Amino acid sequence: MATAGAPAAGEGALDADFAGYLQYARAQQRLSPRTLALYGDGLARLQALLADAGIAPRTLGLTQARRLAARLHREGLAPKSIALLLSIWRSAYRWLGRQGCVALNPFDGLRAPKAPKPLPKALGVDDAVQLAAYAEPAPEHPALEARDRAIVELLYGAGLRSAELLGLDAQASGTAAGWVDLQAGEAHVLGKGGKRRSTPLGQAAAQALQAWLQWRPQLAAPGEPALFVGARGGRLAGSTLRAMLGQRAIAAGSPAHVHPHMLRHSFASHLLQSSGDLRAVQELLGHAHITTTQVYTQLDLQHLARIYDAAHPRAKK
């Protein structure tokens, strides 16, 4: 069954069927040496698991394959590592099926457990307030400074997505994706899925926007509807927004690399810490499902855990 040629990594210790697949992968799929080594290790691991369970490779069934995957999970293997092994094993048994060695592929449809989503990164309350309150001393371009302060206030004070902020127009109209009503103290935005929502503006955000609107005519090109414009007068680009915020955060002494969505995460986390009202936070963020908002409860618990570790006498290690 095996093709001629030097054995690949791990081939000498493998069952003949698995060694045959590894030679096929090397000759026909032209895998890199590193990938071949990973395949060899993966097949060796499967062979050891089968031997431990007293199962011959050609007799492996669906239920037994599921038990093998469950065992990997119980042993603490990461979901990505389990997914890699299952992919290797699935490919090997697909090849064995084409050779007429097995009637079915026991790993077809078998998926690794989902990896937990990483928690969103948020600034601490003091760091976020420090960034929002930062003012460039003796700015070379006062108009840009006023614009940037208003942007930070809207991102943190209203929890806007960067696309929602960049889509704001200076005036409400039938074609505007979003606008700010300073008299009512509200921002009207077009969120994900084309859903419109309104979010209140705090006093600091409203004052920063009023200051920017006084400077905006000096930057905006004639007829430009965008609320926030770049140095050339057109609607501000996302790349310019990210670069500006990163530089401003450094100047303000922020302890982490700050991007626009981090301020949205900070808005949600700090609001939840203060109010505990998950439904209200969901509405303000424009989340269609409460499960999306619930991730911030984990951030809140982390915050409480840090307070406990720092303050409780029985928390000392």
The residues that are catalytic are: 161, 192, 261, 264, 287, 296
> What span, in angstroms and rounded, lies between the C-alpha atoms of 167 and 22?
53
**Which strands sit side by side in the sheet containing 178-181, from one edge to the other?**
168-169, 178-181, 186-190, 196-200
Supply 108's token pair: 């077809």
Looking up tokens 């698995």 gives 18
> What span, in angstroms and rounded, lies between the C-alpha atoms of 21 and 3?
9
Nearest CA to 41 among 3, 78, 89, 74?
Answer: 89
Supply 299's token pair: 């951030």
- ∠ CA 89-93-97, nearest 5°, is 170
> What span, in angstroms and rounded, lies between the C-alpha atoms of 268 and 299?
10
> What span, in angstroms and rounded, lies between the C-alpha atoms of 144 and 229?
9
- ∠ CA 85-86-91, nearest 5°, is 100
- 5 pairs with which residues across the strands? none
